[in-house]
Each structure stands twice: as C-alpha cells, then as structure tokens.
Amino acid sequence: QSRSLSGIQATSDSLHLGNYIGALQQFVEQQDTHDAFFFIANMHAITVEQDPTELRDRTLRTAAQFLGAGLDPEKSTIFVQSHIPAHAQLSWVLECLTGLGEAQRMTQFKDKAGKNEHVSLGLLTYPALMAADILLYQADVVPVGEDQRQHLELTRNLAERFNHRYGQTFTVPEPGILKETAKIYDLQDPTAKMSKSAPSPAGRIDILDEPKVLAKKFKSAVTDNDTVIAYDPEGKPGVSNLLTIYSAFSGTPIPGVVAEFDGKMYGHLKVALADLAVESLRPVRERTQELLNDPAELARMLHIGADKAAAIAETTIREVYERVGFLSR
Ligand code: AQP
C-alpha cells in the first residue's frame, strides 16, 4: 500500500480553512486508501518564537482537531514530531547535503525572513527538517497545499542526492497537491493566501470559529463590483475563492457550483456558503471540544502513534548513519 505522510504546525489555537481544505481533508480521505502517517510539527513551530505553555497546549489542540476532522487513530498513525528524535538526526545529515544558496532561495524563507525582526538559523534549515520528516518514513505521497510545493521539490532533490552519493536509501516522494483547492485565499485580500500570520483575522476562517463569527466573515468577504458569479481566479479572485470553498465543502466540482448559482447575486452565494460552512464545521468543532476535555486520552493516543512511528524512523536512521559512515556504538 502506498504510504501517505504529512504534518501541520502547532502554531495556532485553531487551524484555518486553508489548512483544512488544502491538507486535513486530504488526510482524512487518504487514511482509507493509504498507509497513513500524520504528525503535529512542533519542531517546525519553534523556527519562530513560541511561548512554551502555549506551544504545549497548541500541540494537543492540533491533535484534537486532527481527530475532530475525522482522522481515526485506528487507521492513521498520528504523532508529535518531537517524540521521534530521528527527525532531528536525519535533518542534520540532510542540512549537510543542502547548499546555502539552495536554502536561501526558498520563497517561504524569504517571506518569513522579510517579516521577522529576528531570523533564526532554523527558519533557513526548515526545509531540511521537512525533508527529514518525509524521507524517514519512506513516504510515497505528501498531501499538502500549493505553498509547500517548492519544499517538496527540494525534498525530492535531497532524496535523489543522498541515494546517488550513498546508495539507494530513500523513496523519492510525490507531492499530493489538489489542483483547485491547493490554495485558499484570504477573504479580505483574495490575492494573498489564507494564513495564520495575516494582519487581520477577518479574512481568515478558523475551523473552531463560533458559527456566528464564521457566518459574518463569509458575509463580509471581498468580491468585486461586477455581479456575475463566474469562476475566474485571475479576473474575479474573491468570487472564485468562495466558489472553491463551496466546492470543497459540498463535494460538487466547481462547474456544478457555478451552474447552481447561475444568475444569482453575490449575496446568495455568501449566505449559502456561510450556512454550508457552519454545518460542515459544526461537528468538527464539537468533536474537537469534546476531545479537549480529556487531554490524558489524547496524550495516550499520541503515545501509541509515537511508538508506531518510532519503529519505522529508527530503522531508517540506522541505515542512514551506516551509509554516511558514522561508527556504530
Ligand atoms: N491558504 C492555504 N491554502 C491551502 N493550503 C494551505 N496550507 C496552509 N495555508 C494554506 C497547508 O496547510 C498545511 C499546514 O501548513 P503549516 O502547518 O505549514 O501551516 P502554515 O503554513 O504555518 O500556515 P500558514 O497559515 O501559512 O502560517 P504562516 O502564516 O505562519 O505561514 C500545509 O500542507 C500547507 O500547505
């Protein structure tokens, strides 16, 4: 069975709709068709400053949202990145195979380095850690949003570079990026991706938002001065984004959604979308809140996940150490 693996950072109290549609919905589908591994990336989170208490809390909250969205620990291996030391071990080896210029060219690094006053080395080496996350488990496919495509390309290059230099060791993974839902845009600025670090929360739908808040954000989404509902990401980015989100929640392909709203006003689409999103996210929110009432049970589930993940990660890192010539103990 093909192996799917992906992670989400523990950097907010709630995941947003971009994380949900671009990544988490794919995770839930793939757990039935793949040998599935999903982790909470708390090591990636500290590439920018995090409050320790908050990070611990958000790690559990992210795990609860994984389950709340429908991941099943019986089907998927769900774990916390820092529970598996091999991520850091392999990351070091891969950093030594990565060119400085290669890392500096990553657009995420350039963006974040531009925004943050203090730029850590971790922000630069982030993609080597991400490559380690993936290659440790010999993943075949990595379901992510479009913003991670460049990092995945680097992961593939590093896998090939390692295999070429030291002998066949790593599976070269394929990106699992869905064409239409790979990038969800900010509701207030539909040319920018929906993001945790957006200046205003008004353009970001958090999946744990209260129904009223959620509906209000959709209803005040920026569209354009035209009145025609059509899918045209270049010319009508706001409306197209709403159609994409509607399609992701309803399961109806975009042309079907466009037909459904043919001749209607923008207001219709916004109200229908708000209702659909509220109803789709309600069970996710309720399950997540329930799970958060029992943190000990969540911790137990993560412990089991870590045991399963460790068994694979340790086999890979042993082979890697052998291949690079580290003396065995
Ligand atoms: N807007 C998006 N549309 C589609 N997919 C998205 N992803 C993130 N934003 C969008 C995907 O979500 C997964 C987890 O991403 P992450 O843990 O790296 O989260 P992030 O990138 O920190 O989220 P943000 O909001 O983008 O944070 P900032 O603002 O800090 O950069 C990934 O698969 C990602 O592609």
The two structure tokens encoding residue 123: 């922000």
Q: What's the length of the chain?
A: 329
Structure tokens at 53: 């208490």
Helix axis angle, 295-324 to 149-166, nearest 10°: 40
Q: Residue-wise pLDDT tens for the chain (329 aa)?
A: 999 999 999 999 999 999 999 999 999 999 999 999 999 999 999 999 999 999 999 999 999 999 999 999 999 999 999 999 999 999 999 999 999 999 999 999 999 998 888 899 999 999 999 999 999 999 999 999 999 999 999 999 999 999 999 999 999 999 999 887 789 999 999 999 999 988 788 999 999 999 999 999 999 999 988 989 999 999 999 999 999 999 999 999 999 999 999 999 999 999 999 999 999 999 999 999 999 999 999 999 999 999 999 999 999 999 999 999 999 99
Tokens 């509902």, residue?
229
Residues with C-beta less than 6 Å from any ligand 1 atom: 8-9, 11, 16, 18-19, 22-23, 41, 144-145, 147-148, 182-184, 193-197
Model pTM score: 0.96
Taking the centre of ligand 1 as the mean of its atom positions, its distance from the CA of residue 24, in whole angstroms, is: 11
- Is ipTM over 0.90? yes
Residue closest via CA to ligand 1's atom 13 equals 19
75 included as an active-site residue: no
User: Is-catalytic flag, 183?
Assistant: no
Ligand 1 centroid–CA 220 distance in Å is: 23
- Tell me which residue has its CA closest to atom 24 in ligand 1: 195
Joined tokens for residue 59? 């790690």
- Closest by CA to 129, choosing from 108, 145, 115, is 108
Rg (CA), the chain: 20
Token match 């049970």: residue? Answer: 297
Residues 6+ apart with CB under 8 A from 184: 17, 18, 21, 22, 145, 193, 194, 241, 244, 245
* C-alpha span between 82 and 99 (Å, rounded): 25
Q: Which of 112, 183, 236, 270 is catalytic?
A: 112
